[in-house]
Amino acid sequence: MKVYVNGQEIHIVKGMTVRHALIAADLLCDIESGKKAYDDKGNEVGLGGALTEGSRIYVK
């Protein structure tokens, strides 16, 4: 399944979570240092959140 993290295309297995996508993008350390993850509408998403094909996540 293809998702995007900060514009970077990431391939993950269906059923994986926001946390898995952030690990694949090497951005989990940013979350651990206080940044948050948001969807393409600006809503904060949790690390256990579900992803679908084409989901977009932004770390700010």
The tens digit of pLDDT for each residue in 6-50 reads 999 999 999 999 999 999 999 999 999 999 999 999 999 999 999
Give the type of residue at 7: G
Return the bridge partners of 3, or none.
10
Tokens of 15: 């059923």
pTM of the model: 0.93
d(CA 15, CA 43): 21
Q: Label residue 3 by pLDDT band (50, 70, 90).
A: very high
Let me know: does 57 contact 4? Beta carbons within 8 Å: yes
- According to CATH, what is the number of the domain 2-59? 3.10.20
